[in-house]
Amino acid sequence: MLRACFSCLFVAIVSLSAMAADGDPKQKVEAIASEYAASFNKQDGAGIAALFAAGGIHVNPAGPRSDIAEFYQGAFKAGFDHEEITVDQAWPLGSDMALAIGAYRLAGKNQNGAPIETGGIWTATYVTEGGKLKIRLLSAMPQAAASEVGGRLMFDAPTTALLRAVLDEVCKSISGCEIGMRAHLASKILEAATKGEISTND
């Protein structure tokens, strides 16, 4: 038991060291977020799709989508033309993966010229593809899916199920002793989202 714990600790240290040597994961995720928002603000769905890994998926309470460019063309058609993205926390998952959480805000005008706006929390899993960090799974949880109960922000059942699906996807390929470290990081994302905590100060 003690040997297994030391082995897991060694894996965690090696993973963190590898990512640190290759650059701060938060800086890498922020660079992706910046490109993402810039493409959105240019209404460039293909540009957003290029930030996803092969087979990348965007998930919201309506369900998963792999046709990323087409999905965003629908958002542009609805009148959204501006996005702001913040990255609150990012964690390395080994030397070639990362996990992050943050917030987003979309704004624009509908067909009648009236202002429209929405926003919420996002979580994402990143993988290295072609030497670059890319989005494997992006989950967006609108604020409308959350409500305050007893002073605590709670997500509705579909959004909670969505978060659990995200965690399942993150952990799908994990084996051996790495399970403990990676599952712990993933569970922290679920816990933070459930409580409405999206910054290290919460």
**pLDDT tens per residue, range 153-167:** 455 555 556 556 655
Q: What pTM value is reported for the model? A: 0.66
Residue 54 lies in a domain: yes
Residue 129, judged by CB atoms within 10 A of its CB (0-12, 13-18, 19+), counts as: middle
In a domain, 112, yes or no: yes
Coil, helix or strand for 43? coil
- Token pair for 112: 């009648």
| Better-scored residue on pLDDT, 170 or 39 | 39
Q: Is residue 200 part of a domain?
A: no
Q: Are 90 and 98 in contact (CB under 8 A)?
A: yes
Q: Which of 73, 49, 137 is nearest to 101 (CA)?
A: 137
For the chain, what is the domain count? Answer: 1
Q: Is position 201 within any domain?
A: no
Beta bridge partners of 123: 101, 139
Residue 87 near residue 26, CB atoms below 8 Å = yes
pLDDT in tens, 44-62: 999 999 999 999 999 988 8
Who's near 99: CB < 8 A, 6+ residues apart? 90, 91, 93, 123, 124, 125, 126, 170, 185, 186, 189
Q: Is 200 in a helix, a strand, or coil?
A: coil
In whole angstroms, what separates CA 77 from the centre of its chain?
Answer: 24
pLDDT at 40: 97
- Three-class DSSP category at 17: helix
Contact 69, 77 (CB under 8 A): no
Match 């979309």 to its residue by tokens: 106
DSSP letter for each residue of 36-78: HHHHHHTT-HHHHHTTEEEEEEEEETTEEES-HHHHHHHHHHH
What phi and psi, each to the nearest 5 degrees, are found at residue 175?
-140, 165
Residue 29 counted as domain residue: yes
Looking at residue 110, which CATH number applies to its domain?
3.10.450.50
Q: Is residue 202 part of a domain?
A: no
Q: Would you say residue 52 lies in a domain?
A: yes
- Crossing angle of helices 157-171/178-195, nearest 10°? 160
Model pLDDT, residue 11? 39
For residue 75, the enclosing domain spans: 2-195
> Is the per-residue pLDDT at 150 higher than 70?
no
- The reply to whether 68 falls in a domain is yes
**Helix axes of 178-195 and 2-21: crossing angle, nearest 10 degrees:** 70
User: What does the pLDDT read at residue 42?
Assistant: 97
